């Protein structure tokens, strides 16, 4: 029987637990964090340690997705939050495409264009075009205030189309197809796509995944720097940067493993992490703690509050059709959802939180309570909360089609 550790079994459904068990090999270890929920092949909030495999579906399509959060020396009285959020929405691209002309250069682009794997170097233009774009879904740029009154800036997104194409390409090759051929995704409960790391294809994927992770970090750096510029280039007094869709080579219980975490944040002793709640509630900065429970959990913690309803349940079923006049795909409602987004928008106004974009599928009621999730995860045992952050500005994509959502 494979060792499995589940944080908060009371708040995780059986379907998610079965999905984790379906991913395990004979010699692997499985973990579900308290924000765990159903995903594609590999549950969100799941960490699985393999002896000699990397899980392409475990890392997922949004390779290197993560968060960056920085504390500044500004306070709320130093800024006009309405104007700041207007500028963030104007100068940073959410959703599909680039809505402004502020393309940037970064050393990671040379690493991609000069990459020895031709299918990686061939994506240099795509990588350049999308560097510093945020995407849609639950990806965001937030301005927040800590308990001492200082302004923080945080973001959440990953490797965009570059990482998505790497995941799709290696899933196709794992099934015997060529790079660029369509991969049939199969059922949500299908077996994970695993590659052996003592074989060439597995080694190639590991290298491609590493490059996509570096690209995701570069994108978050670019976006944070742009927001800091909008804020007048204040001093940054603390910076936290971590990711949760990736695979790491680690030692656990005296043995070497390759740990695939999807929607699951590393939290080794003294490691800092930013965990976002939702557009309304407090987010937190946590520090990893050493304990027997931490070890059982592969030193992993939550990456957010965890969904309690699907996007379709929340916002309704949509059919996306390309509109020539708009120059993009626009939605037509097929069935109604259970969330009234106008009420969410009014609630945000009542709380004096400046909201830009977003939709019903990202409303607070779509998520568990982060405070509850953190308790199940083991505050004081696996992690400690060192800072609570209250949102004053939230920017996300609006209701638009994004093929790169994971």
Q: What is the CATH number of the domain that holds 348?
A: 3.90.1860.10
Q: Which residues of 312-340 are buried (b: 16+ CB within 10 A; e: fewer)?
A: ebbbbebeeeeeeeeeebbbeeeeebebe
pTM score of the predicted model:
0.93
Decide if pLDDT at 210 tops 70.
Answer: yes
Q: Measure Cα distances from 250 to 48, 155, 225, 253, 258 in Å.
A: 12, 27, 31, 10, 6
Q: Is residue 189 part of a domain?
A: yes
pLDDT at 101: 66
Cα 272 to chain centroid, rounded: 17
- Average confidence (pLDDT) over 312-326: 78
| Residue found under tokens 């930013």 | 274
Residue 69 belongs to a domain: yes
Instruction: Say what the pLDDT of residue 96 is.
Output: 73
Question: Which has more confidence, 395 or 315?
Answer: 395
Q: Give the model's confidence band at 341: pLDDT under 50 very low, under 70 low, under 90 confident, else very high.
A: very high
What's the token pair of residue 145? 């205030």
Q: List the Cα angle 405/98/227 in 5-degree steps.
A: 90
Give CA–CA dist 132/220, Å, rounded. Answer: 7
Q: What does the CA dihedral 50, 51, 57, 63 come to, rounded to 10 degrees?
A: 90
* Domains: count for the chain: 1
Lowest mean pLDDT among 145-159, 285-299, 303-317: 303-317
Task: Evaluate the CA torsion angle 160, 164, 167, 173 in order and state its sign.
Answer: negative
Whole-angstrom CA distances from 273 to 66, 148, 346, 369, 392 are 10, 19, 31, 18, 20
Q: What is the pLDDT of residue 291?
A: 98
Judge whether 406 lies within some domain: no
Structure tokens that stand for 226 in this block? 């742009």
CB 404 within 8 Å of CB 64: no
193 belongs to a structural domain:
yes
Question: Would you say 304 and 377 are in contact if contact means Cβ atoms under 8 Å apart?
Answer: no
Percent of the chain whose pLDDT exceeds 70 = 94
Q: Stretch 124-150: mean pLDDT, rounded? A: 96
CB 275 within 8 A of CB 240: no
SS (H, E, C) the chain: CCCEEECCHHHCCHHHHHHHHHHCCCCCEEEEEEEEECCCCCCEEEEEEECCEEEHHHHCCCCCCEEEEEEEEEEHHHCCHHHHHHHHHHHCCECCCCCCCCCCCCHHHHHHHCCCCHHHHCCHHHHHHHCCCCECCCCEEEEEEECCCEEEEEEEECCHHHHHHHHHHHHHHHCCCCCCCCCCCCCCCCCCCEEECCCHHHHHHHHHHHHHHHHHHHHHHHHHHHHHHHCCCCCEEEEEEEECEEEEEEEECCEEEEEEEECEEECCECCEEEECCCCCCCEEEEEECCCHHHHHCCCEEECCCCECCCHHHHHEEEEEEEECCCCEEEEEEEEECCCCHHHHHHHHHHCCCEEECCCHHHCHHHECCHHHHHHHHCECCCEEEEEEEEEEEEEECCCCCCCCCC
406 pLDDT band, cuts 50/70/90, is very low
Domain that holds residue 336: 4-396
405 within some domain = no
Q: Is the pLDDT reported for residue 93 higher than 60?
A: yes
Whether 344 is covered by a domain: the verdict is yes
Name the more confident of 100 and 40.
Answer: 40
Of 98-112, 252-266, 337-351, 352-366, the poorest mean pLDDT is in 98-112
Which of 261, 276, 286, 328 lies closest to 307 in space, CA to CA?
276
Average pLDDT over the chain, rounded to whole? 93
377 within some domain: yes
> Which residue's entry shows tokens 């074989």?
199
On whether residue 281 sits in a domain, the answer given is yes
Strands 316-323 and 4-6: unpaired
* CA–CA gap between residue 158 and residue 219 (Å, rounded): 8
Statement: residue 178 has pLDDT above 60 = yes
């Amino acid at each position: 029987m494979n060792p499995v550790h589940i944080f908060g079994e009371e708040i995780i459904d059986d379907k998610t637990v079965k999905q984790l068990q379906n991913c395990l090999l004979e010699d692997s270890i499985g973990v579900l964090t308290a924000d765990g929920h159903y995903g594609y092949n590999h549950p969100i909030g799941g960490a699985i340690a393999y002896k000699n495999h990397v899980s392409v579906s475990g890392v997922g399509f949004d390779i290197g997705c993560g968060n960056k959060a920085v504390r500044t020396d500004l306070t709320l009285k130093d800024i006009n939050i309405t104007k700041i959020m207007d500028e963030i929405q104007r100068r940073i691209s959410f959703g599909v495409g680039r809505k402004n002309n502020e393309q940037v250069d970064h050393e990671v682009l040379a690493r991609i264009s000069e990459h020895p794997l031709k299918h990686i170097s061939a994506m240099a233009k795509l990588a350049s075009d999308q560097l510093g774009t945020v995407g849609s879904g639950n990806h965001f740029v937030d301005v927040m205030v800590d308990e001492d009154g200082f302004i923080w800036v945080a973001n959440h997104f990953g490797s965009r189309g570059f990482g998505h194409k790497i995941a799709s390409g290696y899933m196709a090759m794992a099934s015997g197809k060529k790079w660029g051929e369509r991969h049939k995704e199969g059922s949500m409960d299908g077996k994970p796509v695993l590659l052996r790391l003592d074989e060439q294809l597995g080694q190639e994927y590991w290298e491609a995944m590493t490059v996509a992770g570096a690209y995701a970090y570069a994108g978050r750096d670019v976006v944070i720097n742009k927001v800091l510029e909008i804020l007048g280039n204040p001093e940054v007094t603390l910076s936290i940067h971590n990711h949760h869709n990736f695979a790491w080579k680690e030692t656990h219980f005296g043995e070497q493993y390759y740990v695939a975490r999807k929607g699951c944040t590393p939290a080794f002793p003294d490691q800092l992490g930013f965990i976002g709640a939702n557009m309304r509630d407090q987010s937190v900065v946590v520090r990893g703690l050493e304990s027997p429970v931490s070890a059982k959990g592969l030193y992993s913690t939550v990456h957010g509050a965890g969904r309690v309803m699907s996007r379709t349940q929340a916002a309704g079923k949509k059919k996306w059709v390309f509109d020539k006049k708009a120059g993009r795909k626009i939605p037509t409602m097929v069935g109604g959802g259970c969330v009234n987004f106008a009420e969410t928008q009014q609630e945000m106004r009542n709380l004096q939180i400046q909201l830009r974009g977003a939709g019903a599928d990202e409303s607070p009621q779509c998520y568990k309570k982060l405070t509850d999730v953190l308790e199940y995860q083991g505050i004081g045992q696996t992690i400690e909360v060192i800072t609570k952050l209250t949102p004053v500005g939230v920017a996300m994509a609006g209701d638009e089609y994004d093929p790169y959502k994971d």
